[in-house]
Amino acid sequence: MRAIGGIVARELLRFLRQRGRLVSSLARPFVWLVFAGAGFATVFAGAGAIDYRRYLAPGLLGMVVMFGSLLAALSTVTDREAGVLRMVLVAPIRRSTVALGKTLGATLLGTMQAVAVAVLLLSLLQLWPGPAGLLLAFAAIVLSGLALGALGLVLAATMRSIENFAGVMNFVVFPMLFLSGALYPVRRLGPWLRVLVHVNPLAYGVDLLKHALLAEWAGTGYGGEMPPALDVAALLVFAAAGLAVAAALLGREGGVTRTAFRSPA
Amino acid sequence: MTATAIHARGLGKDFGAIRALGALDLEVREAEFFGLLGPNGAGKTTTVHLLATLLRPTRGTARVAGHDVVREDLETRRRIGLVFQETTLDRDLTVEQNLRFAARLWNLPGRVAGPRIDELLAQFGLRERRRDAVRTLSGGMRRALDIARGLLHEPRVLFLDEPTAGLDPRARRSLWELIQRLRSASGLTVFLTTHYVEEAEPCDRVAVLDRGALAALGTPAELKRAAGVSSLEAVFLARTGRPLAESTAA
Protein backbone atom coordinates (compact mmCIF):
# COMPACT_ATOMS: atom_id res chain seq x y z
CA MET A 1 0.00 0.00 0.00
CA ARG A 2 2.83 2.33 0.87
CA ALA A 3 4.37 1.56 -2.51
CA ILE A 4 1.16 2.55 -4.31
CA GLY A 5 1.11 5.78 -2.30
CA GLY A 6 4.71 6.42 -3.29
CA ILE A 7 4.03 5.89 -6.98
CA VAL A 8 0.95 8.13 -6.85
CA ALA A 9 2.83 10.82 -4.88
CA ARG A 10 5.63 10.84 -7.42
CA GLU A 11 3.19 11.34 -10.30
CA LEU A 12 1.69 14.28 -8.42
CA LEU A 13 5.09 15.81 -7.61
CA ARG A 14 6.20 15.53 -11.21
CA PHE A 15 2.99 17.08 -12.47
CA LEU A 16 3.17 20.02 -10.08
CA ARG A 17 6.78 20.68 -11.04
CA GLN A 18 5.88 20.88 -14.72
CA ARG A 19 4.23 24.29 -14.96
CA GLY A 20 3.81 24.12 -18.73
CA ARG A 21 1.89 20.87 -18.53
CA LEU A 22 -0.31 22.35 -15.82
CA VAL A 23 -1.17 25.46 -17.80
CA SER A 24 -1.72 23.72 -21.12
CA SER A 25 -3.93 21.03 -19.59
CA LEU A 26 -6.16 23.68 -18.06
CA ALA A 27 -6.19 25.95 -21.11
CA ARG A 28 -6.75 23.27 -23.77
CA PRO A 29 -10.51 22.74 -23.21
CA PHE A 30 -11.17 26.49 -23.33
CA VAL A 31 -9.28 26.79 -26.60
CA TRP A 32 -11.56 24.05 -27.93
CA LEU A 33 -14.60 25.75 -26.47
CA VAL A 34 -13.79 29.02 -28.20
CA PHE A 35 -12.65 27.77 -31.60
CA ALA A 36 -14.34 24.40 -32.10
CA GLY A 37 -17.36 25.73 -30.24
CA ALA A 38 -17.71 28.74 -32.53
CA GLY A 39 -17.13 26.73 -35.70
CA PHE A 40 -19.25 23.66 -35.04
CA ALA A 41 -22.07 25.75 -33.60
CA THR A 42 -22.78 27.03 -37.12
CA VAL A 43 -23.41 23.51 -38.46
CA PHE A 44 -24.87 21.99 -35.30
CA ALA A 45 -28.25 20.41 -36.10
CA GLY A 46 -29.48 20.59 -32.53
CA ALA A 47 -29.12 24.34 -32.21
CA GLY A 48 -32.84 24.68 -31.58
CA ALA A 49 -32.69 22.26 -28.65
CA ILE A 50 -29.45 23.16 -26.88
CA ASP A 51 -26.72 25.76 -27.10
CA TYR A 52 -23.76 24.00 -28.76
CA ARG A 53 -21.27 25.22 -26.18
CA ARG A 54 -23.29 23.57 -23.46
CA TYR A 55 -23.57 20.44 -25.56
CA LEU A 56 -19.78 20.47 -25.80
CA ALA A 57 -19.20 20.65 -22.02
CA PRO A 58 -19.33 16.89 -21.22
CA GLY A 59 -17.10 16.15 -24.19
CA LEU A 60 -14.56 18.75 -23.13
CA LEU A 61 -14.41 17.30 -19.62
CA GLY A 62 -13.98 13.85 -21.14
CA MET A 63 -11.18 15.25 -23.24
CA VAL A 64 -9.46 16.71 -20.18
CA VAL A 65 -9.63 13.34 -18.42
CA MET A 66 -8.32 11.59 -21.52
CA PHE A 67 -5.34 13.89 -21.93
CA GLY A 68 -4.71 13.96 -18.19
CA SER A 69 -4.88 10.24 -17.51
CA LEU A 70 -3.72 8.77 -20.79
CA LEU A 71 -0.69 11.03 -21.02
CA ALA A 72 0.21 10.50 -17.35
CA ALA A 73 0.15 6.75 -17.90
CA LEU A 74 2.17 7.14 -21.08
CA SER A 75 4.90 8.77 -18.98
CA THR A 76 5.81 5.20 -18.02
CA VAL A 77 7.66 5.13 -21.35
CA THR A 78 9.78 8.07 -20.23
CA ASP A 79 10.27 6.33 -16.89
CA ARG A 80 11.66 3.35 -18.70
CA GLU A 81 13.92 5.43 -20.92
CA ALA A 82 15.22 7.41 -17.95
CA GLY A 83 15.75 4.22 -15.94
CA VAL A 84 13.32 5.14 -13.15
CA LEU A 85 11.14 2.16 -14.01
CA ARG A 86 14.07 -0.06 -12.98
CA MET A 87 14.01 1.39 -9.50
CA VAL A 88 10.33 0.52 -9.31
CA LEU A 89 10.71 -2.97 -10.71
CA VAL A 90 13.64 -3.91 -8.47
CA ALA A 91 11.58 -3.00 -5.41
CA PRO A 92 9.93 -5.87 -3.51
CA ILE A 93 6.50 -5.24 -4.98
CA ARG A 94 4.42 -7.15 -7.50
CA ARG A 95 4.10 -6.00 -11.09
CA SER A 96 0.36 -5.72 -10.59
CA THR A 97 1.01 -3.28 -7.73
CA VAL A 98 3.16 -1.17 -10.02
CA ALA A 99 0.40 -1.18 -12.66
CA LEU A 100 -2.22 -0.25 -10.07
CA GLY A 101 -0.08 2.56 -8.63
CA LYS A 102 0.59 4.01 -12.07
CA THR A 103 -3.08 3.81 -13.06
CA LEU A 104 -4.25 5.39 -9.81
CA GLY A 105 -1.68 8.17 -10.22
CA ALA A 106 -2.94 8.78 -13.75
CA THR A 107 -6.55 8.74 -12.52
CA LEU A 108 -5.74 11.27 -9.82
CA LEU A 109 -4.08 13.64 -12.29
CA GLY A 110 -6.92 13.32 -14.81
CA THR A 111 -9.53 13.85 -12.10
CA MET A 112 -7.80 16.89 -10.62
CA GLN A 113 -7.52 18.54 -14.01
CA ALA A 114 -11.11 17.73 -14.95
CA VAL A 115 -12.50 19.01 -11.66
CA ALA A 116 -10.53 22.26 -11.99
CA VAL A 117 -11.77 22.70 -15.56
CA ALA A 118 -15.33 21.74 -14.60
CA VAL A 119 -15.53 24.51 -12.00
CA LEU A 120 -14.59 27.13 -14.60
CA LEU A 121 -16.49 25.58 -17.50
CA LEU A 122 -19.81 25.05 -15.71
CA SER A 123 -19.73 28.58 -14.28
CA LEU A 124 -18.87 30.04 -17.67
CA LEU A 125 -21.71 28.17 -19.41
CA GLN A 126 -24.09 28.58 -16.48
CA LEU A 127 -24.73 24.87 -16.54
CA TRP A 128 -26.16 23.78 -13.18
CA PRO A 129 -26.89 20.04 -13.07
CA GLY A 130 -27.68 19.95 -9.34
CA PRO A 131 -25.94 17.91 -6.61
CA ALA A 132 -26.92 14.49 -8.02
CA GLY A 133 -25.70 15.51 -11.46
CA LEU A 134 -22.43 16.81 -10.07
CA LEU A 135 -21.89 13.61 -8.11
CA LEU A 136 -22.55 11.50 -11.20
CA ALA A 137 -20.21 13.72 -13.20
CA PHE A 138 -17.48 13.21 -10.62
CA ALA A 139 -18.00 9.44 -10.75
CA ALA A 140 -17.87 9.57 -14.55
CA ILE A 141 -14.59 11.49 -14.40
CA VAL A 142 -12.98 9.05 -11.95
CA LEU A 143 -14.16 5.97 -13.87
CA SER A 144 -12.99 7.44 -17.17
CA GLY A 145 -9.65 8.26 -15.59
CA LEU A 146 -9.24 4.65 -14.44
CA ALA A 147 -10.17 3.21 -17.83
CA LEU A 148 -8.04 5.65 -19.83
CA GLY A 149 -5.13 5.45 -17.38
CA ALA A 150 -5.12 1.66 -17.68
CA LEU A 151 -5.30 1.94 -21.46
CA GLY A 152 -2.42 4.42 -21.46
CA LEU A 153 -0.37 2.00 -19.38
CA VAL A 154 -1.02 -0.82 -21.85
CA LEU A 155 0.15 1.46 -24.67
CA ALA A 156 3.20 2.50 -22.64
CA ALA A 157 4.15 -1.11 -21.93
CA THR A 158 4.09 -1.91 -25.64
CA MET A 159 5.94 1.18 -26.84
CA ARG A 160 9.69 1.18 -27.13
CA SER A 161 10.12 4.90 -26.95
CA ILE A 162 8.11 8.08 -26.74
CA GLU A 163 8.93 8.68 -30.41
CA ASN A 164 5.79 6.68 -31.18
CA PHE A 165 3.89 9.47 -29.49
CA ALA A 166 2.68 10.96 -32.79
CA GLY A 167 1.33 7.54 -33.70
CA VAL A 168 -0.57 7.39 -30.43
CA MET A 169 -2.08 10.82 -31.08
CA ASN A 170 -3.11 9.92 -34.64
CA PHE A 171 -4.33 6.39 -34.12
CA VAL A 172 -5.56 6.46 -30.53
CA VAL A 173 -6.23 9.92 -29.13
CA PHE A 174 -7.92 11.61 -32.11
CA PRO A 175 -10.08 8.63 -33.20
CA MET A 176 -11.11 8.17 -29.57
CA LEU A 177 -12.04 11.82 -29.31
CA PHE A 178 -14.01 11.99 -32.57
CA LEU A 179 -15.80 8.70 -31.93
CA SER A 180 -16.72 9.56 -28.35
CA GLY A 181 -19.74 11.77 -28.90
CA ALA A 182 -17.75 14.66 -27.45
CA LEU A 183 -18.35 16.88 -30.48
CA TYR A 184 -21.52 15.43 -32.04
CA PRO A 185 -24.04 12.70 -31.24
CA VAL A 186 -22.79 9.25 -32.25
CA ARG A 187 -26.19 7.84 -33.15
CA ARG A 188 -26.07 9.28 -36.66
CA LEU A 189 -22.70 7.71 -37.48
CA GLY A 190 -22.63 4.76 -39.91
CA PRO A 191 -22.79 1.21 -38.57
CA TRP A 192 -19.04 0.60 -38.88
CA LEU A 193 -18.09 3.70 -36.98
CA ARG A 194 -20.72 2.88 -34.39
CA VAL A 195 -18.93 -0.43 -33.77
CA LEU A 196 -15.79 1.56 -33.04
CA VAL A 197 -17.75 3.78 -30.67
CA HIS A 198 -18.59 0.73 -28.60
CA VAL A 199 -14.94 -0.27 -28.13
CA ASN A 200 -13.99 3.29 -27.19
CA PRO A 201 -13.73 3.83 -23.42
CA LEU A 202 -13.99 7.59 -23.85
CA ALA A 203 -17.42 7.18 -25.50
CA TYR A 204 -18.80 5.62 -22.32
CA GLY A 205 -17.15 8.28 -20.18
CA VAL A 206 -18.54 11.15 -22.27
CA ASP A 207 -21.95 9.48 -22.39
CA LEU A 208 -22.04 9.19 -18.62
CA LEU A 209 -21.00 12.85 -18.35
CA LYS A 210 -23.91 13.75 -20.65
CA HIS A 211 -26.31 11.87 -18.37
CA ALA A 212 -24.83 13.84 -15.48
CA LEU A 213 -24.64 17.32 -16.97
CA LEU A 214 -27.25 17.37 -19.76
CA ALA A 215 -30.10 15.53 -17.99
CA GLU A 216 -32.28 18.55 -18.72
CA TRP A 217 -31.95 17.84 -22.46
CA ALA A 218 -32.37 14.06 -22.22
CA GLY A 219 -35.65 14.22 -24.15
CA THR A 220 -34.18 16.16 -27.08
CA GLY A 221 -31.71 13.45 -28.11
CA TYR A 222 -28.72 15.52 -27.01
CA GLY A 223 -28.28 13.98 -23.56
CA GLY A 224 -26.78 10.55 -22.93
CA GLU A 225 -27.35 8.05 -25.74
CA MET A 226 -26.62 4.78 -23.93
CA PRO A 227 -27.95 3.46 -20.61
CA PRO A 228 -25.87 4.90 -17.72
CA ALA A 229 -25.49 1.42 -16.19
CA LEU A 230 -23.87 0.26 -19.43
CA ASP A 231 -21.47 3.23 -19.31
CA VAL A 232 -20.41 2.39 -15.76
CA ALA A 233 -20.03 -1.33 -16.50
CA ALA A 234 -18.06 -0.70 -19.69
CA LEU A 235 -15.67 1.72 -17.97
CA LEU A 236 -15.08 -0.77 -15.15
CA VAL A 237 -14.42 -3.57 -17.65
CA PHE A 238 -11.96 -1.39 -19.59
CA ALA A 239 -10.17 -0.46 -16.35
CA ALA A 240 -9.93 -4.06 -15.09
CA ALA A 241 -8.90 -5.49 -18.45
CA GLY A 242 -6.37 -2.71 -19.00
CA LEU A 243 -4.84 -3.25 -15.56
CA ALA A 244 -4.57 -7.00 -16.08
CA VAL A 245 -2.93 -6.63 -19.48
CA ALA A 246 -0.60 -3.85 -18.28
CA ALA A 247 0.50 -5.91 -15.25
CA ALA A 248 1.20 -8.91 -17.49
CA LEU A 249 3.16 -6.77 -19.94
CA LEU A 250 5.20 -5.10 -17.17
CA GLY A 251 5.91 -8.51 -15.66
CA ARG A 252 7.37 -9.80 -18.91
CA GLU A 253 10.98 -10.71 -18.53
CA GLY A 254 13.06 -7.88 -19.90
CA GLY A 255 10.46 -5.31 -18.96
CA VAL A 256 13.18 -3.92 -16.73
CA THR A 257 16.25 -4.97 -18.55
CA ARG A 258 15.22 -3.98 -22.03
CA THR A 259 18.85 -3.71 -23.09
CA ALA A 260 19.55 -7.24 -21.96
CA PHE A 261 17.77 -8.57 -25.00
CA ARG A 262 19.63 -6.38 -27.43
CA SER A 263 23.15 -6.76 -26.09
CA PRO A 264 23.63 -9.50 -23.54
CA ALA A 265 26.42 -7.99 -21.50
CA MET B 1 21.57 -17.88 9.78
CA THR B 2 23.43 -19.10 6.76
CA ALA B 3 26.99 -18.03 6.12
CA THR B 4 26.36 -18.05 2.37
CA ALA B 5 25.06 -14.85 0.87
CA ILE B 6 24.93 -16.01 -2.74
CA HIS B 7 24.75 -19.58 -3.88
CA ALA B 8 24.47 -20.36 -7.61
CA ARG B 9 24.46 -23.83 -9.15
CA GLY B 10 24.68 -24.30 -12.90
CA LEU B 11 23.13 -20.88 -13.36
CA GLY B 12 22.78 -19.98 -17.03
CA LYS B 13 20.89 -17.73 -19.39
CA ASP B 14 20.27 -17.77 -23.12
CA PHE B 15 18.83 -14.89 -25.11
CA GLY B 16 17.42 -16.68 -28.11
CA ALA B 17 20.39 -18.39 -29.69
CA ILE B 18 22.90 -16.32 -27.75
CA ARG B 19 24.34 -17.96 -24.66
CA ALA B 20 24.95 -15.03 -22.31
CA LEU B 21 25.88 -17.18 -19.32
CA GLY B 22 26.83 -20.86 -19.56
CA ALA B 23 26.48 -22.65 -16.23
CA LEU B 24 27.82 -20.67 -13.32
CA ASP B 25 28.72 -22.26 -9.98
CA LEU B 26 29.40 -19.62 -7.40
CA GLU B 27 29.38 -19.13 -3.67
CA VAL B 28 29.76 -15.77 -2.00
CA ARG B 29 30.14 -15.68 1.77
CA GLU B 30 28.34 -13.30 4.02
CA ALA B 31 30.10 -9.96 4.54
CA GLU B 32 32.40 -10.72 1.66
CA PHE B 33 33.52 -8.01 -0.76
CA PHE B 34 33.29 -9.98 -3.96
CA GLY B 35 34.38 -8.89 -7.42
CA LEU B 36 33.21 -10.23 -10.77
CA LEU B 37 35.86 -9.22 -13.29
CA GLY B 38 35.49 -9.46 -17.02
CA PRO B 39 35.33 -7.53 -20.26
CA ASN B 40 32.11 -6.07 -21.64
CA GLY B 41 29.89 -8.83 -22.94
CA ALA B 42 31.33 -11.44 -20.57
CA GLY B 43 27.96 -11.97 -18.88
CA LYS B 44 28.47 -9.84 -15.76
CA THR B 45 25.26 -7.86 -16.00
CA THR B 46 23.29 -10.99 -16.93
CA THR B 47 24.67 -12.65 -13.79
CA VAL B 48 23.65 -9.71 -11.61
CA HIS B 49 20.17 -9.53 -13.15
CA LEU B 50 19.67 -13.27 -12.63
CA LEU B 51 20.74 -13.02 -8.98
CA ALA B 52 18.54 -9.95 -8.49
CA THR B 53 15.42 -11.76 -9.88
CA LEU B 54 15.11 -9.45 -12.89
CA LEU B 55 15.81 -12.25 -15.36
CA ARG B 56 14.62 -15.82 -15.17
CA PRO B 57 17.40 -18.40 -15.49
CA THR B 58 17.33 -20.68 -18.53
CA ARG B 59 19.00 -23.34 -16.37
CA GLY B 60 20.32 -23.83 -12.88
CA THR B 61 19.30 -22.34 -9.56
CA ALA B 62 20.41 -19.57 -7.26
CA ARG B 63 19.73 -18.54 -3.68
CA VAL B 64 20.47 -15.01 -2.56
CA ALA B 65 20.26 -13.94 1.10
CA GLY B 66 18.67 -17.31 1.82
CA HIS B 67 15.92 -17.13 -0.80
CA ASP B 68 15.39 -18.81 -4.15
CA VAL B 69 15.56 -16.15 -6.84
CA VAL B 70 12.78 -17.71 -8.93
CA ARG B 71 10.29 -19.02 -6.38
CA GLU B 72 10.86 -16.30 -3.75
CA ASP B 73 11.57 -13.30 -5.92
CA LEU B 74 9.81 -10.78 -3.65
CA GLU B 75 11.63 -12.08 -0.56
CA THR B 76 14.91 -11.92 -2.44
CA ARG B 77 14.31 -8.38 -3.67
CA ARG B 78 13.45 -7.28 -0.14
CA ARG B 79 16.91 -8.31 1.06
CA ILE B 80 19.07 -7.04 -1.75
CA GLY B 81 20.14 -3.65 -2.99
CA LEU B 82 20.89 -3.23 -6.66
CA VAL B 83 22.72 -0.36 -8.27
CA PHE B 84 22.38 -0.59 -12.02
CA GLN B 85 24.99 0.35 -14.53
CA GLU B 86 22.80 3.25 -15.60
CA THR B 87 21.16 5.63 -13.17
CA THR B 88 17.62 4.92 -11.99
CA LEU B 89 16.99 8.31 -10.41
CA ASP B 90 14.19 10.68 -11.34
CA ARG B 91 16.14 13.66 -12.66
CA ASP B 92 13.22 16.04 -12.17
CA LEU B 93 12.82 15.30 -8.47
CA THR B 94 15.15 16.44 -5.72
CA VAL B 95 17.74 14.25 -4.01
CA GLU B 96 15.48 13.84 -0.99
CA GLN B 97 12.32 13.23 -3.04
CA ASN B 98 14.09 10.41 -4.84
CA LEU B 99 15.02 8.76 -1.57
CA ARG B 100 11.52 9.28 -0.14
CA PHE B 101 10.08 7.66 -3.25
CA ALA B 102 12.43 4.69 -2.90
CA ALA B 103 11.63 4.42 0.82
CA ARG B 104 7.94 4.03 0.02
CA LEU B 105 8.64 1.46 -2.66
CA TRP B 106 10.54 -0.54 -0.04
CA ASN B 107 7.71 -0.08 2.43
CA LEU B 108 9.74 1.88 5.00
CA PRO B 109 7.55 3.88 7.39
CA GLY B 110 8.27 7.61 7.39
CA ARG B 111 9.70 7.61 10.93
CA VAL B 112 12.26 5.01 9.87
CA ALA B 113 12.97 6.51 6.46
CA GLY B 114 13.61 10.06 7.73
CA PRO B 115 16.63 9.33 9.98
CA ARG B 116 17.94 6.72 7.53
CA ILE B 117 17.87 9.27 4.69
CA ASP B 118 19.68 11.85 6.86
CA GLU B 119 22.31 9.27 7.71
CA LEU B 120 22.89 8.24 4.09
CA LEU B 121 23.00 11.83 2.82
CA ALA B 122 25.69 12.58 5.38
CA GLN B 123 27.60 9.39 4.59
CA PHE B 124 27.57 10.10 0.85
CA GLY B 125 28.32 13.82 1.13
CA LEU B 126 24.95 14.89 -0.29
CA ARG B 127 23.48 16.70 2.69
CA GLU B 128 23.90 20.17 1.19
CA ARG B 129 22.27 19.06 -2.05
CA ARG B 130 19.18 17.38 -0.60
CA ARG B 131 16.77 19.98 -1.98
CA ASP B 132 18.39 20.19 -5.40
CA ALA B 133 16.98 18.45 -8.45
CA VAL B 134 19.01 15.40 -9.42
CA ARG B 135 19.41 17.01 -12.86
CA THR B 136 21.82 19.55 -11.31
CA LEU B 137 24.10 16.91 -9.74
CA SER B 138 27.45 15.84 -11.20
CA GLY B 139 27.82 12.32 -12.57
CA GLY B 140 29.77 11.20 -9.51
CA MET B 141 27.16 12.58 -7.12
CA ARG B 142 24.36 10.85 -9.02
CA ARG B 143 26.15 7.54 -8.71
CA ALA B 144 26.67 8.16 -5.02
CA LEU B 145 22.95 8.86 -4.68
CA ASP B 146 22.17 5.69 -6.65
CA ILE B 147 24.23 3.73 -4.14
CA ALA B 148 22.59 5.49 -1.20
CA ARG B 149 19.24 4.55 -2.73
CA GLY B 150 20.40 0.91 -2.96
CA LEU B 151 21.34 0.92 0.74
CA LEU B 152 18.20 2.65 2.00
CA HIS B 153 16.40 -0.48 3.14
CA GLU B 154 19.55 -1.94 4.75
CA PRO B 155 19.94 -4.87 2.37
CA ARG B 156 22.04 -7.89 3.27
CA VAL B 157 23.54 -8.10 -0.20
CA LEU B 158 24.42 -5.08 -2.30
CA PHE B 159 24.97 -5.54 -6.04
CA LEU B 160 27.01 -2.87 -7.75
CA ASP B 161 27.02 -3.29 -11.52
CA GLU B 162 30.00 -1.38 -12.94
CA PRO B 163 29.50 1.40 -10.39
CA THR B 164 32.25 3.65 -11.68
CA ALA B 165 31.70 3.16 -15.41
CA GLY B 166 31.36 6.38 -17.38
CA LEU B 167 32.84 8.63 -14.68
CA ASP B 168 35.90 10.80 -15.10
CA PRO B 169 39.01 9.61 -13.20
CA ARG B 170 38.58 12.00 -10.28
CA ALA B 171 34.92 11.14 -9.73
CA ARG B 172 35.80 7.46 -10.09
CA ARG B 173 38.41 7.72 -7.37
CA SER B 174 36.19 9.50 -4.86
CA LEU B 175 33.26 7.15 -5.55
CA TRP B 176 35.57 4.19 -5.14
CA GLU B 177 36.57 5.50 -1.71
CA LEU B 178 32.88 5.65 -0.76
CA ILE B 179 32.39 2.08 -1.94
CA GLN B 180 35.44 0.89 0.01
CA ARG B 181 33.90 2.34 3.17
CA LEU B 182 30.91 0.01 2.74
CA ARG B 183 33.13 -2.95 3.61
CA SER B 184 33.29 -2.14 7.26
CA ALA B 185 29.50 -1.82 7.38
CA SER B 186 28.05 -4.52 9.56
CA GLY B 187 27.83 -7.76 7.68
CA LEU B 188 26.95 -6.26 4.30
CA THR B 189 27.89 -8.48 1.38
CA VAL B 190 29.02 -6.50 -1.64
CA PHE B 191 28.90 -8.10 -5.08
CA LEU B 192 30.67 -5.87 -7.53
CA THR B 193 31.11 -6.23 -11.28
CA THR B 194 33.87 -4.37 -13.03
CA HIS B 195 36.15 -4.40 -16.01
CA TYR B 196 38.77 -2.35 -14.17
CA VAL B 197 41.54 -4.51 -12.72
CA GLU B 198 42.35 -1.94 -10.05
CA GLU B 199 38.80 -2.29 -8.70
CA ALA B 200 39.08 -6.08 -8.51
CA GLU B 201 42.42 -5.89 -6.71
CA PRO B 202 41.09 -4.87 -3.24
CA CYS B 203 38.25 -7.46 -3.29
CA ASP B 204 38.27 -10.35 -0.82
CA ARG B 205 37.79 -12.74 -3.72
CA VAL B 206 37.51 -12.30 -7.44
CA ALA B 207 35.74 -14.38 -10.07
CA VAL B 208 37.01 -13.90 -13.59
CA LEU B 209 34.23 -14.19 -16.14
CA ASP B 210 34.86 -14.54 -19.85
CA ARG B 211 32.33 -15.29 -22.60
CA GLY B 212 29.71 -16.46 -20.13
CA ALA B 213 32.00 -18.86 -18.26
CA LEU B 214 34.03 -18.74 -15.07
CA ALA B 215 37.71 -18.58 -15.99
CA ALA B 216 39.16 -18.28 -12.47
CA LEU B 217 38.07 -17.82 -8.87
CA GLY B 218 40.02 -16.95 -5.73
CA THR B 219 41.62 -14.18 -3.74
CA PRO B 220 43.60 -11.78 -5.91
CA ALA B 221 46.80 -13.18 -4.36
CA GLU B 222 45.80 -16.80 -5.04
CA LEU B 223 44.90 -16.04 -8.62
CA LYS B 224 48.22 -14.36 -9.27
CA ARG B 225 50.16 -17.15 -7.56
CA ALA B 226 48.32 -19.87 -9.47
CA ALA B 227 48.93 -18.19 -12.79
CA GLY B 228 52.50 -17.31 -11.84
CA VAL B 229 52.01 -13.66 -12.67
CA SER B 230 52.06 -10.39 -10.75
CA SER B 231 48.83 -8.68 -11.78
CA LEU B 232 45.17 -9.56 -12.27
CA GLU B 233 45.52 -8.23 -15.78
CA ALA B 234 48.05 -10.95 -16.45
CA VAL B 235 45.79 -13.50 -14.73
CA PHE B 236 43.05 -12.69 -17.23
CA LEU B 237 45.50 -13.08 -20.13
CA ALA B 238 46.82 -16.37 -18.76
CA ARG B 239 43.33 -17.79 -18.18
CA THR B 240 41.61 -16.69 -21.35
CA GLY B 241 44.45 -16.20 -23.78
CA ARG B 242 43.25 -12.65 -24.43
CA PRO B 243 44.16 -9.38 -22.78
CA LEU B 244 41.40 -7.82 -20.64
CA ALA B 245 42.07 -4.26 -21.78
CA GLU B 246 41.87 -5.12 -25.46
CA SER B 247 38.58 -6.95 -25.17
CA THR B 248 37.25 -4.07 -23.08
CA ALA B 249 38.19 -1.42 -25.60
CA ALA B 250 35.09 -2.09 -27.73
Q: How high is the pLDDT of residue A261?
A: 36
For residues A97-103, average pLDDT: 94
Q: For A9, which residue in chain B has the nearest alpha carbon?
A: B101
Instruction: For residue A253, list chain B residues with Cβ-Cβ distance below 8 A.
Output: 55-56
Q: How high is the pLDDT of residue B246?
A: 52
Q: For A101, which residue in chain B has the nearest alpha carbon?
A: B105
Q: How high is the pLDDT of residue A17?
A: 84
Q: B49 vs A9: CB contact, 8 Å cut-off?
A: no
Q: How high is the pLDDT of residue A253?
A: 67
Nearest CB neighbour to B88, from listed A9, A86, A94: A86
How many CB pairs (< 8 A) connect A and B?
A: 101
Instruction: For residue B55, list chain A residues with Cβ-Cβ distance below 8 A.
Output: 253-254, 257, 260
Q: What is the ipTM of this complex?
A: 0.84
Band (pLDDT 50/70/90 cuts) for residue A111 is very high
Distance in Å, alpha carbon of B87 to nearest chain A alpha carbon: 6
For residues A67-89, average pLDDT: 87
Closest CA to A137 of A241, A25, A59, A236: A59
- Report pLDDT digits (tens) over A167-221: 888 888 999 999 999 998 988 888 999 999 999 999 999 999 999 999 989 888 8
Q: How high is the pLDDT of residue A264?
A: 35
What domains does chain B contain, in order, with CATH numbers? 4-248 (3.40.50.300)
Nearest CB neighbour to B82, from listed A9, A90, A261: A90
Q: How high is the pLDDT of residue A258?
A: 45
Q: Which residues contact B166 (CB under 8 A, 6 or more apart)?
A: B139
Amino acid letter, residue A4: I
Q: Which residues contact A199 (CB under 8 A, 6 or more apart)?
A: none
Band (pLDDT 50/70/90 cuts) for residue A251 is confident
Angle at A185 between CA A241 and CA A223, to 5 degrees: 85
A79, pLDDT greater than 90:
no
Instruction: For residue A7, list chain B residues with Cβ-Cβ distance below 8 A.
Output: 104-105
**Mean pLDDT for chain A overall:** 89
Q: What is the pLDDT along chain B (250 residues), one digit of tens a residue?
A: 457 999 999 999 999 899 999 999 999 999 999 999 998 889 999 999 999 999 999 999 999 999 999 999 999 999 999 999 888 999 999 999 999 999 999 999 999 999 999 999 999 999 999 999 999 999 999 999 999 999 999 999 999 999 988 888 888 988 998 888 888 667 899 999 999 888 899 999 999 999 999 999 999 999 988 888 888 888 888 888 888 865 444 3
Q: B78 vs A84: CB contact, 8 Å cut-off?
A: no
Distance in Å, alpha carbon of B20 to nearest chain A alpha carbon: 6
- Report pLDDT digits (tens) over A229-241: 999 999 999 999 9
Q: How high is the pLDDT of residue A265?
A: 32
DSSP characters over chain A: -HHHHHHHHHHHHHHHH-HHHHHHHHHHHHHHHHHHHHHHHTT-TTTTTS-HHHHHHHHHHHHHHIIIIIHHHHHHHHHHHHTHHHHHHTSSS-HHHHHHHHHHHHHHHHHHHHHHHHHHHHHHHT---HHHHHHHHHHHHHHHHHHHHHHHHHHHHH-SSGGGHHHHIIIIIHHHHHTTTSSS-STTS-HHHHHHHHT-HHHHHHHHHHHHH-GGGGGGT-S--S-HHHHHHHHHHHHHHHHHHHHHHHHSTTSS-HHHHHS--
Distance in Å, alpha carbon of A94 to nearest chain B alpha carbon: 8
Nearest CB neighbour to B84, from listed A83, A92, A261: A83
For residues A40-65, average pLDDT: 90
Q: B105 vs A88: CB contact, 8 Å cut-off?
A: yes
Say whether residue A2 is in contact with chain B using an 8 A CB cutoff: yes
Domain residue spans of chain A = 2-255
Q: How high is the pLDDT of residue A263?
A: 36
A262, pLDDT greater than 50:
no
Q: A265 vs B87: CB contact, 8 Å cut-off?
A: no
To probe the interface with A, which of B104, B117, B151 has the most A CB atoms within 10 Å? B104
3-state secondary structure chain B: CCCEEEEEEEEEEEECCEEEEEEEEEEEECCCEEEEECCCCCCHHHHHHHHCCCCCCCEEEEEECCEECCCCHHHHHHHEEEECCCCCCCCCCEHHHHHHHHHHHCCCCHHHHHHHHHHHHHHCCCHHHCCCEHHHCCHHHHHHHHHHHHHCCCCCEEEEECCCCCCCHHHHHHHHHHHHHHHHCCCCEEEEEECCHHHHCCCCEEEEEECCEEEEEECHHHHHHHHCCCCHHHHHHHHHCCCHHHHHCC
A37, pLDDT greater than 50:
yes
Q: Which residues contact A194 (CB under 8 A, 6 or more apart)?
A: A186, A187
- Report pLDDT digits (tens) over B157-172: 999 999 988 888 888 9
